[in-house]
Amino acid sequence: MCTSLKFLAMLIFLIASGLSKVSIVSANGDFSGTPGYMAPFSLQEIQGSMSPCRPFFVGASPNPLPSCCEGARNIAELTSTKRDEQELCSCLKLTLPQEGVYDPARLASLGKKCNIDVYFPPITRDTDCSKWPFSSFLFLSQTW
């Protein structure tokens, strides 16, 4: 009983501490978060930013909506380190399949289609986010 109360107290403390931006671990366990790392975004923020891209990702629209491009730009601006890129990859790996059958190449073309200086690699359920060659992942240059 005492152990259960300690666990409950710790859980309440963590929730009250605002730890909503924790590392994401994929369902198949291929990406585990680094202790102490806190992403500059949450899974819910990534889902919200990318939801306007659904028609483009599933092939229902030849071009992304302006709100999709704005979401991609906002995500890219939040991602500044290799660890952030890995976390974003993991979030996208979890988020994209929720949109239904999608074309990973469309994710990779998002920067060009939105006319922003950003590159998202094609991410599939088999992508190992911990092993991406991140040197070319997001911003191709830091100038706008």
35-47 pLDDT tens trace: 677 888 889 999 9
- Residue 60 DSSP symbol: S
* Higher-scoring residue by pLDDT: 140, 119: 119
* CA pair distance 86, 27, nearest whole angstrom: 15
- The two tokens of residue 96 are 């994209």
> Among candidates 74, 71, 64, 72, which has minimal Cα distance to 102?
64
Does residue 121 have a pLDDT over 50?
A: yes
Query: Which SS3 state, helix, strand or coil, does residue 118 take?
Result: strand
> How much is the pTM?
0.67
Question: Domains in the chain, ordered, with CATH?
Answer: 41-144 (1.10.110.10)
Burial (0-12, 13-18, 19+ Cβ within 10 Å), 51: middle
Write the pLDDT tens digit of every residue in 13-26. 333 333 333 343 43
Residue 33's pLDDT is what? 52
